[in-house]
Amino acid sequence: MQQQLSEALTIMLTGMITVFVFLTLLLLAMHGLRRFVGSEEQPTAARTTTTKHRDAGHSGQRIAAITAAVHAYRREHE
């Protein structure tokens, strides 16, 4: 029993160390690629999302009413 527990602990630690090393290498590779490409542009997804909401034609009162209804529903169904 003691030998099985020791073997399980060894396998667990080996797996955890392997995953840690792999993720560290992946992180370093990603940073290296970012420097290699040199792209400093910000993603435009945030800008397109805000324009979609602005162009949708929803009034502030309508959004407030929907938000209040969602909060009331969640409060009743917790």
Number of domains in the chain: 1
In a domain, 69, yes or no: no
In a domain, 49, yes or no: no
Cα–Cα distance, 54 to 62 (Å, whole number): 13
In a domain, 1, yes or no: yes
Domain ranges, residue 18: 1-37
pTM over 0.85: no
Cα–Cα distance, 48 to 52 (Å, whole number): 6
Give the tens place of pLDDT for each residue, 17-56. 999 999 999 999 999 999 888 766 655 665 555 555 555 6
In a domain, 28, yes or no: yes
In a domain, 57, yes or no: no
In a domain, 58, yes or no: no
pLDDT band at 68 (very low <50, low <70, confident <90, very high): very high
Say if residue 7's pLDDT is above 80.
yes
3-state DSSP assignment of residue 50: helix
- Encoding tokens for residue 29? 């590779």
